[in-house]
Amino acid sequence: MRDWRHYWQKRERIPDGSPEHALRQVGHTLLGSPIGPDQVRLVAESIQRSLELTASDQVVDLGCGNGFITREISKLVARIHGVDASRVLIDTAEAYFKAPNCTYSLGDVVRADTLRNLPFKPAKSYSYSVFQHLSAGETGEMLRAMREICGKGFLLFAGHIPDKERIHAFYNTPERWRLYEDSLNNNTEQMGHWWRKEDLIQVCVGLGLHCQVMLQDANLETSRYRFNALIRGGER
């Protein structure tokens, strides 16, 4: 699989905090253009609804990127902390997307020591557009660390996961499919890891976690080929 850590470390810095520049920097685009404000709103609503966020919640954004979505979620909760492995993206978050109740730190969310150093132990967390950059083994490492640090009651919303069963809805022409095959051969794949739902469920079951697979909101442009999941500790 492509070295996604290197890829995100090498992202270009942006000149300001405009939505266009911010969304382009983290790849939230559709046919080359940044997604619209309605799509950003739907993303924030899906996180809020799935985690049942309230104004008293303390939440962690695992793989927060440049903090654009993190700041949106900060409007809904008491406190939020974003962590990401890319120095460029964390610098962008610190420069443009902070709020009084919003903080950031540099760290790899797969590593247990990163999660141990969070400023608080989150009962609720989310990871949006991240699982596509993790192998099954790395995902297991992250979830194992979350279970260890947060306890049995933790709740994690994993959003925007590429669906292997619907890959042809994205690579939907012979030309696009050839592009996909070429990118695999060159280790430059565009989307990263396309997950089978049962594979994610199996990772969770192996750790004693419950995984509820969910469809994306039909109004999201990506709903044709991505899914979400709600992962929780405790009894299945």
Per-domain residue ranges of the chain: 4-232
Give the integer Cα–Cα distance in Å for 21 and 8: 15
Quickly count: other Cβ atoms within 10 Å of residue 120's Cβ.
10
Counting as low any pLDDT under 50, the low residues of the chain are: 235-236
Q: What is the pLDDT of residue 234?
A: 64
**φ, ψ (nearest 5 deg) of residue 64:** -75, -10
Chain-centre distance for alpha carbon 158: 6
Question: Which CATH code for domain 4-232?
Answer: 3.40.50.150
- Per-residue pLDDT tens for 35-71? 999 999 999 999 999 999 999 999 999 999 999 999 9
Give the integer Cα–Cα distance in Å for 99 and 186: 41
Residues 105, 74, 41, CA angle at the centre, nearest 5°?
A: 120
Residue 218 in 3-state DSSP? coil
Q: What is the pLDDT of residue 51?
A: 98
Q: What is the pLDDT of residue 189?
A: 87
Give the integer Cα–Cα distance in Å for 54 and 99: 17
Q: What is the pLDDT of residue 187?
A: 87
Quickly count: other Cβ atoms within 10 Å of residue 76's Cβ.
17
pTM of the predicted model over 0.85: yes
Q: What is the pLDDT of residue 153?
A: 83
Q: What is the pLDDT of residue 9?
A: 93
Q: What is the pLDDT of residue 196?
A: 98
